[in-house]
Amino acid sequence: MEDKDDLAVVEREELPRHKQSFDIRKAAAGLVDGAGSAMAGAVATVQKVADGAMRAATPMVDDALAAIADAADGAAGAAADIGDAVNDWAYQQQLNRYRPVTKETYQSPSFYLPNMIRIVDGNERRGIDACRDAIGWLDTVKGTQIFNLYREAIGDSELSFYPKPSLYSTYYIDAFDRSRFVDLDSYFATMQQDKMAELRRIAFMLGAKRCKLEVTEYEETRRGHQVKGNAKAGKKGSVRIDGSLSDSTRNEKKILFTQEFEGDMVPQRPELHWYAHDSDILLLIETRCGGEDKNKAKSYRVELKSETTMTMSVSLAMAIDEACSKLNIRANSSLTSQAKRELRQSFVFEVEF
């Protein structure tokens, strides 16, 4: 049987261990230390997050700034592009309106030189951007095109103007020479001279002794009424007269030229322009140059119709007159009236060998 004192010793020895594990001061100290460690860890974690956020935010800010700079540059570039586009559009509008012709354009194989040229002052359009390097400009009136050539650029054009180049004069192309332009005021007269010169040359080349050209111009005149019957009284006092209009034709003849030669020229085929398709002239040449130098013609008389050698058609003359009127180009006489007059003319060509 155990002693009570031994039991007391046992109880006294176990009591300190039980009190040690339940010490509230140590527990409180532990709690404080744990809270401090937890707080420090939390602070450290927050700092790390903040540092990471800053590190992450820094390139984002840089990228944002770079993007803003790029956008600004792009906006400036877009504005410049818009400005260039507006300038190009305005320049193109000037080209469409003023239709300038530069020296490079003029010399280009694709450039078609109009049949009508007017010589103008080179200072008229110098203040227009699209016209600064031009040598002239184009006008078009109902399909009729006119090249306005600066007087200072006549040498660059490599064209000849008959009788001479004059400021604000208008010229039309020669029928057989695209480098020669003839003043509209003397166009029909000049072409008439060219036709007569060709007939003289034909006579000369064929060995003629003399030749003559005569022109007959026909003009119809209206005389008035001629009474065919008696006057008859009608109802209500009216009077009816049977009559008709009577027209007459007046002929006016004129010798345009006569020429004599020695007649010792060996017949040769002449170069033809105006009369290249005239059957009567071609037959004359054949009677002098064809065959075996036998049975040659001794004389020849032929009537040359104006229809085969018209200077220009009436419709073309009307179109040119209309274009000149629209552009305020003054002429001594209308081309239309001269074209109609030419149709009323008949030429008689006589040659003796």
- What backbone torsions phi and psi does residue 231 show, to the nearest 5 degrees? -70, 140
**CA 146 – CA 324 distance, rounded (Å):** 9
Residues 6+ apart with CB under 8 A from 226: 243, 244, 246
DSSP bridge partners of 137: 100, 148
Q: Residue-wise pLDDT tens for the chain (353 aa)?
A: 444 444 343 444 444 444 444 454 554 455 445 545 555 555 465 465 445 555 655 666 566 667 676 666 666 677 667 877 877 787 788 788 889 999 999 999 999 999 999 999 988 887 888 888 899 999 999 899 999 999 999 999 999 999 999 999 999 999 999 999 999 999 999 999 999 999 999 999 999 999 999 999 987 665 554 545 555 555 555 555 455 555 556 688 899 999 999 999 899 999 999 999 999 999 999 999 987 777 888 999 999 987 889 999 999 999 999 999 999 998 888 999 999 999 999 999 999 99
Longest dimension (CA), the chain: 196
pTM for the model stands at 0.69
CB 343 within 8 Å of CB 307? yes
Residue 4: the pLDDT is 44
Domains of the chain: which residue ranges? 1-97, 101-184, 187-220+251-352
Rounded-to-5 percentages of helix, strand, coil across the chain: 50, 25, 25
Other CB atoms closer than 10 Å to residue 289's CB: what's the count? Answer: 17
What confidence score (pLDDT) does residue 35 get? 47
DSSP state of 329: -
Structure tokens at 353: 């060998």
Query: Under a CB-based contact definition with an 8 Å cutoff, are residues 78 and 116 in contact?
Result: no
Residue 208 class from Cβ within 10 Å (0-12 exposed, 13-18 middle, 19+ buried)?
buried
What is the predicted pLDDT for the residue at 221?
A: 62
Residue 288: which residues within 8 A CB-CB, separation 6 or more?
Answer: 206, 207, 267, 296, 297, 353
261 residue type, one letter: F
Q: Angle of helix 335-343 relative to helix 187-205, nearest 10 degrees?
A: 40
Residue indicated by tokens 């190009």: 88
| Encoded tokens for 232 | 């008859």
**Residue 254 near residue 215, CB atoms below 8 Å:** yes
